[in-house]
A and B are shown apart, each in its own frame.
Chain A
Amino acid sequence: MADLLWLIPALPLAGFLALLLFGRRLAGRVPALVGCLSVGLSMAASFAAAAAFLGVAPPGRAVRKTICLWFEAGGLAPSFGFYLDGISILMVVVITVVAFLIHVYSADFMAADSSLPLTGDGEGYSRFFAYMNLFVGSMLVLVLADNLLLLYLGWEGVGLCSYLLIGFWYKDPANGRAAVKAFVVTRVGDASLAVGLFIIAWGLGTFDIQEAAARAARLWPEGSAIAIAAAALLLGGAVGKSAQLPLQTWLPDAMAGPTPVSALIHAATMVTAGVYLVGRTHALFALAPPVLTVVAAVGAATFLIAGASALVQRDIKRILAYSTMSQVGYMFCALGVGAWSAAFFHFMTHAFFKALLFMSAGVVIKALDNEHDIFKMGGLRTRLPSAYRGFLVGAASLAALPYLTAGFYSKEMILDALLTSPAGSPWLWAAGLLGAFLTALYAFRAVFVVFFGEGRGGALRQPSPLMGAPLFILSIFAIATGWLLPNGLAGPFLAGLFGALPAGAQGAGTTGPLAALAPPVVAIAGVVLAGLFYLALPRTRRALTGSAAGAAVHRFLFTGWGFDGLYASLFVTPFVRLAKVNRSDIIDAPYRAIGLIAEFSSRGLSLTQSGKVRWYAAAVAIGGAVFLGLAVLL
């Protein structure tokens, strides 16, 4: 098993290379076949790895395999090595499954007969699958890496692919701007992560994650400044990639990319990288309790802010984008209170239901000729039944409807931990409940507005089987993964996966009836309120949002709490102004002055080259007289 570990990331990367080199020459659906096949084989390989891992638990509950030395310099020798334990298996399986389904879905979604703009050429088709394969490959490198440098390589690859894919329809400058924004904002986090890696390499003398964790526990006392600095810098990277406060502004704009890309970014490959990083280096974070508190606070602030913003969005994809921010916020919050396995369990359920939501939204958007505004939809329940079923299941799971959906179990685990963990508090728990209420409200607002109410127009183009089948499979996952609850049906299974994580806050079990009842009640209340506002009493809602205060709040939430404006006036405008001041390169001025002086004197001297011999003679005479006079006088 260990010998074939490298195949998991290598297959999508090979697919990328093949498409990069021969993509233009492949006709018709062949690029999609290459893309799906490479990810599908990678999925099979990860299944095989998971089966072998769970069948006979390897010693130390981890497998590692070094392929070759990367480089050796200054006492550091990072290698191309892979490390497989419970978390990586979970990540790898979820990533490959979701990515495979998204690839299959994209085969039709991105087909040449697409009504979407600027994809009518074969070049775009193969380019799309090349980028997608690279995206998946980079993410797999990230989660399988056994040292931080290789992890960083995958991290940067993911960032690059997000840039390429968000700006996939590059002919529209707005998409290019969104891509640049995503790249620059996440780069702030990447820089922080890089500095964090330098501190780890400098302080611990190794990039190897397990070795670094062991040495940190030995060398750095708990709460020491260096441990806090390293953990805080790693957190900075995680916050950037996972679109958490304060680096969350890129995610809503990232919706400029094709819908399958959004699904991939949100479900499998990108925003969860931060959660994985914090989980993978949890030993470091455990040495820095203040940073863990910050992690929880960042997560809580993000899920409240993003949840409130999602309430008022009109663009169906932006609703989902804000919901991703808020759900990843839950994961961070869980990590912050030490509920490691709850965070990863929520990652798994979230990956399935968020991919499902995006792909259903993609079906709707495609059927309505690229319409994103939910208030121009309506009544699609009967006209697009497959999208309706998918979106309903996804939204139910997102809203954590009790006892049936996967989202309920994972979110309850997190809420439970927020209350019972030593690092948790009733305040965090209450914030989590409020967030859950908002989630249910905005999720079913979208469902009711898009699929209920009166519809206009006639029959719509139904999704092809290639697009419908992934929806169906993900619907099952979005329900059934809840039954894998750690103390439920698949307890031993998950215990095997989560063995790599410290037990943390799980299993306290003395939450009382209030804590057990609150999450389902809150979720149902959210759905009921959404139904009241958007189905039964639309007039009340209009009166509410129509009032002056309501409109102001609406505008504030719609712009994502004004973070874009704040950053524009805080960073962008001063920078642009500075650039304008420095337009002619202030540093260059002295050097240009030297050039100007030389040129000026050359012009003056060239005047004396008049070509008149008599003038020259006169000049010689005058010069001679002057020197003679000087010689006599001095």
Chain B
Amino acid sequence: MTGGGLLHVPFEHAMMFAGVLLLLGLAGVIARRDAIFILLSLEVMLNAAGLAFVLAAARFAAPDGQVMFLFVLAVAAAEVSIGLALVLWLYHYKRTIDIDKARDMRG
């Protein structure tokens, strides 16, 4: 596979898309108070990173990027399972999933 041949999307544009995706996810993590949405935003960020890996693999014709994407998927799955467990525990503990209410450990 040669870069850009099939999709007619230039590499730079695709990378910019990945960056925008990452910033959108970050904005969601920072702005949202709902723990579920924070997890969702985190997923978006992870996918942005995964996209960047895949694009880089296509651009440099190296399989490493695709391997890394598999790892990212695995990490995302693990993260979601732990994250959801935490959200459940938070709900059990605080009767809410508003992340700002969970600030008992402030210094």
Contacts and interface: CB of A to CB of B under 8 A. Distances in A.
A610 B26 contact: no
Contacts of A613: 38, 99-100, 102-103
A618 B26 CA distance: 8
B1 interface: no
Contacts, number: 38
B39 to A, nearest CB: 12
Nearest to B41: A617
A618 B32 CA distance: 12
A621 B24 CA distance: 12
Contacts of A610: 103, 106-107
For chain A, what secondary structure do more than half of its interface residues adopt (helix, strand, loop), or is it mixed?
helix
A617 B33 CA distance: 12
Nearest to B42: A617
Contacts of B26: 617, 621
B30 interface: yes
Given A621-B26, A621-B30, A614 B106 contact: no
A611 B104 contact: yes
A609 B106 CA distance: 5
B103 A617 contact: no
Interface in B13-51: 26, 29-33, 38
B30 to A, nearest CB: 5
A573 interface: no
Contacts of B107: 605-611
Contacts of B30: 614, 617-618, 621
Contacts of A606: 107
Nearest to B26: A621
A185 to B, nearest CB: 58
Nearest to A609: B107
B29 A611 contact: no
B6 interface: no
A156 to B, nearest CB: 58
B99 A611 contact: no
Contacts of B38: 613-614
Interface string A607-628: 1111111100110010000000
A612 B32 CA distance: 12
B106 A611 contact: yes
Nearest to A610: B106
B9 interface: no
Contact of B103 (A605, A612, A618, A621): A612
User: Which 3 interchain pairs have the tightest Cβ spacing?
Assistant: A609-B107, A611-B103, A611-B106
20 contacts: A607-B107, A608-B107, A609-B106, A610-B103, A610-B107, A611-B104, A611-B106, A612-B103, A613-B38, A613-B102, A613-B103, A614-B30, A614-B31, A614-B38, A614-B99, A614-B100, A617-B26, A618-B30, A621-B26, A621-B30
